[in-house]
Amino acid sequence: MEIVLQITANGLMLGGLYAMISVGLTLIFGITRVINFAHGEFLMVGMYIVYLVTTQLGVHPYASVLLAVPALFVMGALTQKLVIERLRNSDEHVQIFATVGLSIALINLALLIFGADIANTPSSGLRHSVGVGTVGVLTGQLVIFFSSIVLVVVLHLLLTRTRPGRAIRATAQNRAAARLMGINVSRVYVLTFGLGAACVGVAATLVAPLYPASPTIGTYFVLIAFVVVVMGGLGSITGAFIAALVIGLVDAFAGYYLGSDLKEVAVFGIFLLVLIFRPSGLFGARRNLSHVSP
Amino acid sequence: MSTSTLSLPRNRDGWRAPVALAGVLAALFVLPVVIDDAFVYHIFITICIFAGLSTAWNIVGGYAGQLSLGHAAFYGIGAYVGMMLVNAGVTPWLGMFAGGGVAAVVAVAISYPCFRLHGPFFALASIAFLEVFRVLALHFSGVTGGATGMMVPLETGWMWMIFQDRLPSLIIAFGLMLLTLLVAWGLRQHRWGFYLVATRERESAARSAGIGTVKMRLLAVAISAALTAMLGTFHAMYLTFIEPGSVFSLTFSIQIAMFALIGGIGTVFGPLVGTILLVPVTELARGWLGAEAVGLHGFVYGSVLVIAVLFMPDGLMSVLSRFFGAGPAARDDDGAGATTSAPSRTQAQRAPIGDVVLQAEHLDKHFGGLHVTNDVSLTLRKGEVLGVIGPNGAGKTTVFNMLSGFLKPDSGRVSIRGADGHFHSPASPGDFARLQLGRTFQIVQPFAAMTVEENIMVGAFHRHPAVADARRSAREIAHRMGLARYLDDEARGLPIGGLKRLEIARVMAMEPRVLLLDEVMAGINRADLQEAIELVRAIRDSGVSIIAIEHVMQAIMSLSDRVIVINSGEVIAEGAPEDVVRQEAVIEAYLGKESVDAAAQ
């Protein structure tokens, strides 16, 4: 029983982490309909920024959020402006390869600058265990979990209660109609991409003290993020949050009962089942089915 | 996909392209032999292997438009099956076929549930499968050797595909590449190649032309996976060592796809061109810079990919074909006579209206809470033109979709008389097509990246399975429909009037006995309208039975033998055109109650 509780706790913490990383991806997809294969590399860049700020300036890792978030926002906005925007009328495969190319370039750029070794951000006490009874989690994990809830709520409010948020949602629902209503669609896209990347900046700040940065760190997380985003229903932020918790739990339990080497089979197996049988996601309404033929 | 599907320009100056191709292929073999340097050999062997892999990928990723980023799974299956058999004392010459067979079966099994997924989602699913394979290969170390990998036994010679010299390896790699190119080229020339591209471009139009779209995609994936696995077996022998991380690798998958993309996705020789250009650059970069600058060549790789899609989204082949082909030459067979005779009235007298050929009984269809068609019944007789009118949203197109197998009615039945004289109740669009029912779509559905001739051929294959016959038939129909001068143009470039004609031409190429026309007159100008009416009349006179949904009253009145009026999913009137349009219910449905009252006063 204690073990089950501990695994559940681990799973939820992991879920919070996955949610943190996935909300940006689902936001970008939901609005611009572009799947950003370089999303994981955004996270990687963010983690290196946190690493550099923390080690060079000697500040608490969380302080680097002040640099990581704006930097990632600019990076996302530039990606949309310089690459995706120009490919808007191209075929899907062209867009996919553009972000895949960006991903390869960023991984190798990091390899070129930092080498293949891992870069440990000082943990500043965030790896201390806290808990009730025998069940314990790391302080940093707890922060991630609650931050992910805050992030989801803030994004939700931003999209529903503010003017730019409404413009973003209007554009997502109907590009042409939004343009007729005087919305600058291409600016909305740039803003959305920036916002999605900025979420990754937050994630990177919180993740870096717990996970060492490496050029390929993004690759693992991005695959999980895709799983979460598809499962939660494309573009649905709350859906992604719930899906992240589910995947976190699956990950933790499969890791314990199947062995850590097979847990990915469970995660990707579930992903494939969802793609095949519930392509609209577990919680999504039957919209956003543009990826399935009638 | 925005690529020309022309493999090589077909015009009279087209000799340059085949010569260039032969030259390039010869150079791939001759250069390393002449230079006789181990590193040069290695580069050329690598080019041959990757050109083969990329060409095989292109059958799925290009022809069929299913963007697989998991092709390393099939490569890995080939490598592992070959490696295990070699260690069990079986020659890789057999092992590669075993690997190819296993890969084809696996490919069909994993693609079947995924065939509905488009673009990025197919890509994601293929990545997920690849990851599962990698993890399983790592886990079942008893079979695969796990993370420590597998080695070839220390035996050399042709029997084991392992050599001290480089030349034999080059011979095998070159041979496998030629085989793959030959298969890819042959497939594109074959009816199946047309079917694949048509399916990629417009799935519903392909289905209405009687193409088994799922079957075609599975065929493509099986061929592609088998070839990929065979190359994998050889590559494993060449590398002498494999392990899950390097074999079931996402990076490797991306590389294969990237060569095809940069060369020209969907073209026969694009992947070859892309590989020839990129492999030496990266291998040299790896050799020269690799030691001091880890990641530089990968950075260059990624940047080249981004820049290539930004500035050359159609790939190198489109640039090259501009050089070699200089655009399609004017066709000499586009005689003025052919064009003007286009929709000429057939002199033959119209045959009398015959027996019932198509019957719909009590069709009911709900979309959620909406009752779209309510107890619709209709009959069509041989040689008859039945007009279907009704306001927008009345359910006319839904009826068409049920009459052609695209929708299954909740209740009711559609039966069509076959050539054997008996009635059949087909279930799918393909079955309807086989019973010689053809349809057009309200929103035209051209196969955009195919030429006009190829578009019509897709329909013509229905009656003429051989490519040459289908081409002849397609040209003949193009002449009749006034499309002759567009034959070599891609359909995407046609004006709307041309697209409408193409839509009809493709259906006519199927030589249908029953033709469903969905608003073919809408949106064409007044001058073309008379021509279009004459055209439909000529089709009718050739013995085809027609149901036409139409809003253009002039066309309905002059063409229809009978008219049915549908409103809110129900048939509200039926009869001779001039009678029907005077009925109160019909006027009310179109113009509202007040108009009826106004007319009565």
When pLDDT is cut at 50, 70 and 90, the band that residue A205 belongs to is very high
- CA-based nearest residue to A255, from A1, A2, A8: A8
- In this complex, the residue of B123, B132, B295 whose CB is nearest that of residue A108 is B295
Residue B521 has pLDDT above 70, yes or no: yes
Amino acid B528: pLDDT: 79
- CA-based nearest residue to B208, from B512, B532, B494: B512
Average pLDDT (A231-243) is 88
Percentage, residues of chain B above pLDDT 70: 91
SS3 of residue B411 by DSSP:
strand
- CA-based nearest residue to A96, from B127, B229, B201: B127
Considering only A140-149, A196-205, B396-405, B583-592, which range has the smallest mean pLDDT?
B583-592
A18 at the B interface (CB within 8 A)?
no
B373: β partners: B365
Amino acid A294: pLDDT: 33
Residue B147 has pLDDT above 90, yes or no: no
CATH of domain B342-436+512-600: 3.40.50.300
- Model confidence pLDDT, tens digit, residues B128-139: 999 999 999 999
* Chain A environment of B117 (Cβ under 8 Å): 275, 279, 291-292
> Between these two residues, B3 and B542, which has the higher pLDDT value?
B542
Please check whether the two domains, B23-325 and B342-436+512-600, share a CATH topology. Answer: no
Q: What strand order describes the sheet that includes B423-424?
A: B370-381, B356-367, B411-417, B423-424
Considering only B222-226, B285-289, B325-329, B456-460, which range has the smallest mean pLDDT?
B325-329
Residue with tokens 């085989």: B179
As a whole number of angstroms, the distance between CA A246 and CA A267 comes to 10
Residue A199 has pLDDT above 80, yes or no: yes
Amino acid B346: pLDDT: 45
* Chain A environment of B60 (Cβ under 8 Å): none
- Give me the torsion for CA of A197, A198, A204, A206, rounded to 10°: -150
CA distances for A55 relative to A46, A201, B100, B358, B514, angstroms: 14, 18, 52, 79, 77
- Model confidence pLDDT, tens digit, residues B102-118: 999 999 999 988 877 87
As a whole number of angstroms, the distance between CA B258 and CA B267 comes to 14
Residue with tokens 């062209």: A94
Average pLDDT (B133-148) is 90
> Between these two residues, A124 and B221, which has the higher pLDDT value?
B221
**Phi then psi for B539, rounded to 5 degrees?**
-65, -45
> Between these two residues, A180 and B598, which has the higher pLDDT value?
A180
As a whole number of angstroms, the distance between CA B389 and CA B394 comes to 9
Query: Are B297 and B286 within 8 A, CB to CB?
Result: yes
Nearest-Cα distance to chain A for B559, in Å, is 34
Report the mean per-residue pLDDT for chain B.
86
Amino acid B328: pLDDT: 44
- In this complex, the residue of A35, A110, A111 whose CB is nearest that of residue B120 is A35
Residue B337 has pLDDT above 70, yes or no: no
Query: Are B485 and B339 within 8 A, CB to CB?
Result: yes
Query: Are B271 and B260 within 8 A, CB to CB?
Result: yes
Model confidence, pTM: 0.87
Token duo for residue B579: 């009678």
Pick the CATH number of B23-325 from 3.30.70, 1.20.120, 3.30.1380, 1.10.3470: 1.10.3470
A35 at the B interface (CB within 8 A)?
yes
Are the Cβ atoms of B306 and A115 closer than 8 angstroms? no
Amino acid B170: pLDDT: 95
Token duo for residue B114: 């995924």
> Between these two residues, B343 and B376, which has the higher pLDDT value?
B376
- CA-based nearest residue to B210, from B434, B505, B445, B447: B434
Domain ranges in chain B are 23-325, 342-436+512-600
Amino acid B332: pLDDT: 43
Amino acid B596: pLDDT: 61
* Chain B environment of A102 (Cβ under 8 Å): 302, 306
- Give me the torsion for CA of B469, B475, B478, B479, rounded to 10°: -130
The 8-class DSSP code of residue B484 comes to G
- Model confidence pLDDT, tens digit, residues A6-26: 999 999 999 999 999 999 999
Residue A75 has pLDDT above 90, yes or no: yes
Are the Cβ atoms of A104 and B302 closer than 8 angstroms? yes
As a whole number of angstroms, the distance between CA B106 and CA B100 comes to 10
- Helix (H) / strand (E) element for A144: namely helix A139-161
Nearest-Cα distance to chain A for B110, in Å, is 10
When pLDDT is cut at 50, 70 and 90, the band that residue B146 belongs to is confident
The 8-class DSSP code of residue B30 comes to H
Amino acid B280: pLDDT: 87
> Between these two residues, A258 and B181, which has the higher pLDDT value?
B181
Nearest-Cα distance to chain B for A204, in Å, is 22
SS3 of residue B369 by DSSP:
coil
Sequence-distant (≥ 6) Cβ neighbours of residue B429 within 8 angstroms: B204, B207, B208, B210, B404, B405, B406
Instruction: State the sign of the Cα–Cα–Cα–Cα dihedral A55, A58, A62, A67.
Output: negative
- The segment with the largest mean pLDDT, out of A229-233, B233-237, B514-518, B525-529, is B233-237
Are the Cβ atoms of A293 and B203 closer than 8 angstroms? yes
Nearest-Cα distance to chain A for B31, in Å, is 31
* Chain A environment of B204 (Cβ under 8 Å): 294
CA atoms within 13 A on the CB side of A270: 25
- In this complex, the residue of A92, A101, A227 whose CB is nearest that of residue B302 is A101
Are the Cβ atoms of A291 and B121 closer than 8 angstroms? yes
Q: Are strands B150-151 and B241-242 parallel, antiparallel or unpaired?
A: antiparallel
Extended beta strands in B19-169, E state = 150-151
The 8-class DSSP code of residue B157 comes to B
* Chain A environment of B118 (Cβ under 8 Å): 92, 290-293
When pLDDT is cut at 50, 70 and 90, the band that residue B330 belongs to is very low
Are the Cβ atoms of A262 and B113 closer than 8 angstroms? no
Report the mean per-residue pLDDT for chain A.
87
- In this complex, the residue of A96, A107, A226 whose CB is nearest that of residue B298 is A107
Residue B168 has pLDDT above 90, yes or no: yes
Token duo for residue B209: 């032309």
Residue B15 has pLDDT above 70, yes or no: yes
- Model confidence pLDDT, tens digit, residues B182-214: 999 999 999 999 999 999 888 888 988 889 889
DSSP A212-233: -B-TTHHHHHHHHHHHHHHHH-
Residues 107-136 of A with CB under 8 A from B: 107-112, 115-116
To test the contact with chain B by mutation, choose from A93, A223, A272, A286 the residue with the greatest count of B C-beta atoms within 10 A, namely A93
Nearest-Cα distance to chain B for A258, in Å, is 11
As a whole number of angstroms, the distance between CA B369 and CA B366 comes to 7
- In this complex, the residue of B120, B128, B250 whose CB is nearest that of residue A96 is B120
Amino acid A286: pLDDT: 44
SS3 of residue B544 by DSSP:
coil
Alpha carbon of residue B545 to chain centroid: 29
Average pLDDT (B544-561) is 88
Query: Are B373 and B363 within 8 A, CB to CB?
Result: yes
Q: Does domain A2-277 have CATH number 1.10.4160?
A: no
Complex ipTM value: 0.88
> Between these two residues, A128 and A195, which has the higher pLDDT value?
A195
Q: How many pairs of residues across A and B have Cβ atoms under 8 Å apart?
A: 157
- Helix (H) / strand (E) element for B123: namely helix B119-139
Q: What angle do CA B329, B331, B332 make, to 5 degrees?
A: 125
Sequence-distant (≥ 6) Cβ neighbours of residue B71 within 8 angstroms: B53, B56, B57, B60, B61, B126, B224, B225, B228, B253, B256, B257
Are the Cβ atoms of B121 and A292 closer than 8 angstroms? yes
Which spans in A162-283 are helix H?
Answer: 163-173, 175-180, 185-207, 217-232, 237-257, 263-277
To test the contact with chain B by mutation, choose from A41, A108, A276 the residue with the greatest count of B C-beta atoms within 10 A, namely A108
Query: Are A275 and A61 within 8 A, CB to CB?
Result: no
When pLDDT is cut at 50, 70 and 90, the band that residue A290 belongs to is very low
Amino acid B427: pLDDT: 87
- The segment with the largest mean pLDDT, out of A109-123, A188-202, B149-163, B548-562, is A188-202
Which spans in B312-403 are helix H?
Answer: 316-325, 336-340, 396-403
Amino acid B371: pLDDT: 86
